[in-house]
Structure 1
Amino acid sequence: MYYLVYGFLYLMSLLPMWMLYGLSDFVCWLLFRLFGYRHGVLSANLALAFPEKSEQERETIIRRFQQNFTDTFIETIKLFSAGKDFITSRMTGEFHVFNELYDRGLKCQVHMGHNFNWELGNIAYGYNCKHPLLGVYMPLKNKAMDRIFRELRSKTGTILVPATDMRKSMLQHRDKQYLLGLVADQVPSNPDKAYWLNFFGIPSAFIPGPEKGARTGNIPVVFVHITRKKRGYYHLHAKLVSENPHELPEGELTRRYRDFLEDVIREQPDMWLWSHRRWKKGWKPAYLSNWIDNVPAPEKDVNPYESISQ
């Protein structure tokens, strides 16, 4: 199965981009227009995040998101055969931020969200930066697809660290310089241990690990996001947020990340992954000890999806 799927994807990657984008247009129409894939989730999320926008404005964001969604997968397929010139011309970035930390002998921790096209950003990093990149990922259940994506993501030297065994996997790197890449906007599996604060004004759970790891190891933290210049061309933005995170009070780094992520999403809302239920972990007063926002926590249960029609 592995060789069959890999061979098919590699052959597809040899097609010129105009043909691949034609395929993306067709898949977008088929998936979203004909079958209505996750339209209810998209509408609900955008209604919660942007209540001030009209339904027509939110629908425009949905349409653009849908195109970016299928483009991202098509562009990822292209990476199977794409060379350095192709990749570095399509993903420019502020890579000097990382290299300056490396030259000073420092490790680095990156916090970013699911902004398209993160797969291209990962591959481009290897051509531009000095730190070995440790990329935290969630293994896929399908073994063939998991192997294919592990090989693709490590194409330019990324060392993949499974999220299911992260602590053990990190031991061999603890005395080395590295850049640890964390996509930190996932919904935590355990809301009892999550940090809680408002995200777009709605109580939301955030994974505590990125902040705790940075503060414990006093590892400089860089916030990263990707913007789209035109179809197929992106720019990676990098901002050093704290060089000494152990000096920050608990919760401050996560609050800064929340503010950063909101700003990034508001700037290009169609570039964020809206197709998952971001607020599916409803707030309960039982989580009060983990509330880290600077405003009072809600005094009763909050399930934002109950307040909107889907």
Structure 2
Amino acid sequence: IVYTILFAISLLPLRMLFILSDVAYIVIYHLIGYRKNIVMNNLAIAFPDKTISERKSIAKQFYHNLTDTFIETIKMISIGPKELARRGNCDLTLINDLLSKGKNIHILVGHQFNWEFANLMYAKQVNAPFIGIYKPISNKVIGRIFLRSRSRFGSILVATDSFKHKMHHLMQKQYVLALAADQNPGIPKQAFWLRYFGKPAPFITGPGKLSMMKNTAVVFVSFTKTGRGHYSFKTTLLAENSRDHTSEEITMLYRTQLEKEIRQAPSNYLWSHRRWRHEWKEGYRAVL
């Protein structure tokens, strides 16, 4: 029943669906104030030189982008390949060059909007198996619906808790793997601690270590919102051969590029995430 309702909604044109997004914005920002304190605290950490008024302006646009992303994610349940191509500009020159050299590629992204849209775009256009690592949604019904939606154009989706068991089988042939590397680690003591917008923050160690294990190329992909429902995706090479670097260096390259992209478009990042929830303590790895 839930799928049928969402599928029916997804058949509406995006210009109509964005009316729902505008209503949702009023509800979550003005009426509920969803995570507003977290958003404003995060923006104060990231942009201490901006005025309160400037940070509020970023926050308001962030909430608009958040509700747009939710609506766009529903639209992806039924979006056709022609409309998908029309709504995303994806330069694959770097990806194709690396694949032609026989390289496996790990794509690292941040929680910029719309990462769900990017998954469909790259899965459809990359000329290699496209593996996406995802964190399962707690609601199993909604989880199954969006898993089906995310894999419509060929993504091989693997849950974080089962990736280790499936990794060897998935990586026997040339592949492209994508994951968001800016989430909080489960065990802060074991994380890489880096200065993120000037404040120590823990970063998961897996992406750097896995890249080195396979000596993959590492590519950062940034997302830019060029209009409502329209995006541009840009690739930046972080490392052609991961073993030329340490896993910490790969993570630092990722952190630096992500921070640069966020500064250029601050409202297009997921500020409702408690990125600085953990504090560095004695006994943790040194802050880099």
TM-score range normalised by the length of the shorter chain: over 0.9
CA deviation string 1:206-236 (max 9, x = no partner):
0000001111210110011100111111001
| Aligned equivalent of 2:70 | 73
CA distance in 1, matches of 2:76, 2:118: 11
| Aligned equivalent of 2:116 | 119
| Aligned equivalent of 1:284 | 281
Shift of 1:173: 1.6
- Cα distance change, pair 55–221 in 1 and its aligned pair in 2 (3 A): same
Paired amino acid for 1:132 = P
Shift of 1:5: 0.9
| Aligned equivalent of 2:36 | 39
What TM-score do the two structures reach when normalised by structure 2? 0.97
CA deviation string 1:3-28 (max 9, x = no partner):
x1111111001112221011100011
| Aligned equivalent of 2:26 | 29
**Superposed CA RMSD:** 1.0
CA distance in 1, matches of 2:52, 2:99: 47
Contact 2:132 2:178 in 1 (8 A): yes
Shift of 1:165: 1.7
Identify the match of residue 190 of structure 2 among 189, 193, 203: 193
Contact 1:99 1:131 in 2 (8 A): no
Matched, 1:256 2:253: yes
Structure number with greater Rg is 1
Contact 1:24 1:74 in 2 (8 A): yes
Contact 1:101 1:108 in 2 (8 A): yes
| Aligned equivalent of 1:129 | 126
| Aligned equivalent of 2:144 | 147
Shift of 1:292: 5.3
Paired amino acid for 1:46 = L
Matched, 1:57 2:54: yes
Matched, 1:232 2:194: no
CA distance in 2, matches of 1:127, 1:253: 27
Contact 1:118 1:226 in 2 (8 A): yes
CA distance in 2, matches of 1:249, 1:107: 18
Structure 1 unaligned blocks of 5 or more: 294-310
Alignment of 1:191-230 (within 5 A): 191-230=188-227
How many corresponding residue pairs? 288
What TM-score do the two structures reach when normalised by structure 1? 0.91
Paired amino acid for 1:59 = K
| Aligned equivalent of 2:92 | 95
Which deviates further from its counterpart, 93-102 or 228-237?
93-102
Paired amino acid for 1:170 = M
Corresponding residue SS for 1:286: coil
Shift of 1:250: 4.2
Shift of 1:99: 1.9
Structure 2 unaligned blocks of 5 or more: none
Contact 1:133 1:159 in 2 (8 A): yes
Contact 2:129 2:175 in 1 (8 A): yes
Shift of 1:105: 2.0
CA distance in 2, matches of 1:38, 1:271: 16
Corresponding residue SS for 2:189: coil
| Aligned equivalent of 2:173 | 176
